[in-house]
Amino acid sequence: NRRVVLAARPQGLPTPQNFRIEQGEVPTPGEGQVLLRTLYLSLDPYMRQLMNEIGPTYAPAVALGQPMAGGTVSRVVESRHPQFRAGEVVLSGAGWQDYALSDGEGLAPLGDMAQPSLALGGLGMPAFTAYVGLLDIGRPQSGETVVVAAATGAVGSMVGQIAKLRGARVVGIVGGADKVRYAREELGFDDCLDRHDPPFAQRLAAACPDGIDVYFENVGGEVFDAVLPRLNIGARVPVCGVIAHYNDQDVPAGPNRLPLLTTAMVQKRILMQGFVILDHYGTRYEEFQRDMQAWVAQGKIKLREDRVEGLERAPEAFIGLLQGRNFGKVVVRVGEE
């Protein structure tokens, strides 16, 4: 049983030395437990926050020496739980390891899903995040301009495609020419900008001649600086994440620009609302699943997975994700399906 444990807390961007691969025994399930074999592990930006001493409000920090936490698609290999049978494939949170025990809490059977890894991406949490944030907070209207960064990633690619289905004009922001091409040609975005191409703020302004009505915030940093002056009166800003700041050790140096934000919020009646997707499963998940499965089946939404082979490659893939080296939803194949 291999497991990737947190060896040391990162200072800034994680390095391979922050992780350690350990070998151990495959655990034996007790009464009421199941033994899970990890098939696929999801890598997600929030995991960076779990590596800090104090975790985010919605999840505990990973303790030193413990396996990194994470969503998985797993197979039940042995069951001593009345609700699960051996052989079943389930959505679970087994973390960065080959095997894990579970008392059944939070396990969701996936039935005979054709491509179960999609339960971690285009048919699961990241897509659900896009759905709730965009439709419930962003509320794009036909003809409005929607801007999203990390626009070919797990969440952003869904935000842009759902906004297109709602009749909005979509401008994506990405890192790299191949991603620009994909967003325009495959995802059908109206425009897409490379965030590394200067002068970025001027190019964003030119790409949004009617201003910005919805900015789906995935990144923060220089992208948000360029977006803020372009927001229209009545703009909505679902605040989903700020990946540009996840490695920050401190508040960035420089003049205090908070008044710029708060003044713009008043004058332009801007709605900014943070959300954590865990809060919405009880109320919105069924509707999401119905809509998304139909959109994918009808070819209206495209899914792109960035497949990594082998648990031992999870650390480097995770470090790459934080730097934009991924292209689509990052899923690690850990075991044979």
Please report whether residue 277 would count as binding ligand NDP according to CB under 6 A. Answer: yes
Please report whether residue 193 would count as binding ligand NDP according to CB under 6 A. Answer: no
In the complex, the smallest distance separating the C-beta of residue 142 from ligand NDP, rounded to whole angstroms, is 25
Among the listed residues 47, 159, 235, 243, the single contact to ligand NDP using CB under 6 A: 243
In the complex, the smallest distance separating the C-beta of residue 115 from ligand NDP, rounded to whole angstroms, is 18
> With b meaning 16 or more CB within 10 Å and e meaning fewer, what string describes 69-103?
bbbbbbbbbbbebeebeeebbbbbbbbbbbbbbbe
50 phi/psi in degrees, rounded to 5: -70, -15
In the complex, the smallest distance separating the C-beta of residue 76 from ligand NDP, rounded to whole angstroms, is 26
Taking CB under 6 A as the binding criterion, the range among 30-38, 85-93, 202-210, 236-244 that sits at the site for ligand NDP is 236-244
In the complex, the smallest distance separating the C-beta of residue 106 from ligand NDP, rounded to whole angstroms, is 16
Cα separation of 73 and 89, whole Å? 7
Interface of this chain with ligand NDP, residues 44 to 103, rule: CB under 6 A: 44-46
By three-state DSSP, how is residue 235 classified? Answer: strand
Please report whether residue 33 would count as binding ligand NDP according to CB under 6 A. Answer: no
In the complex, the smallest distance separating the C-beta of residue 239 from ligand NDP, rounded to whole angstroms, is 8
Please report whether residue 221 would count as binding ligand NDP according to CB under 6 A. Answer: yes
Q: Which is nearer to ligand NDP, 41 or 154 (CB)?
A: 154
Please report whether residue 314 would count as binding ligand NDP according to CB under 6 A. Answer: no
In the complex, the smallest distance separating the C-beta of residue 166 from ligand NDP, rounded to whole angstroms, is 19
- For ligand NDP (CB under 6 A), the number of binding residues is 30
Which residues of 59-199 form beta strands (DSSP E)? 72-79, 89-92, 99-102, 108-109, 145-149, 169-174, 191-194
> With b meaning 16 or more CB within 10 Å and e meaning fewer, what string describes 118-154?
bbbbbbbbbbbbbbbbbbebbebeeebbbbbbbbbbb
Among the listed residues 3, 37, 166, 179, the single contact to ligand NDP using CB under 6 A: 179
Residue with tokens 């973390």: 95
Residue with tokens 């655990």: 27
Cα separation of 70 and 302, whole Å? 24
Cα separation of 7 and 330, whole Å? 22
Please report whether residue 149 would count as binding ligand NDP according to CB under 6 A. Answer: yes
Q: Which is nearer to ligand NDP, 21 or 272 (CB)?
A: 272
Hey, what are 146's tokens? 């929607």
Instruction: Return the bridge partners of 274, or none.
Output: 239
Binding site for ligand NDP (CB under 6 A): 44-46, 126, 129, 149-150, 152-156, 174-175, 179, 195, 218-219, 221, 223, 240-241, 243-244, 275-277, 321, 324, 326
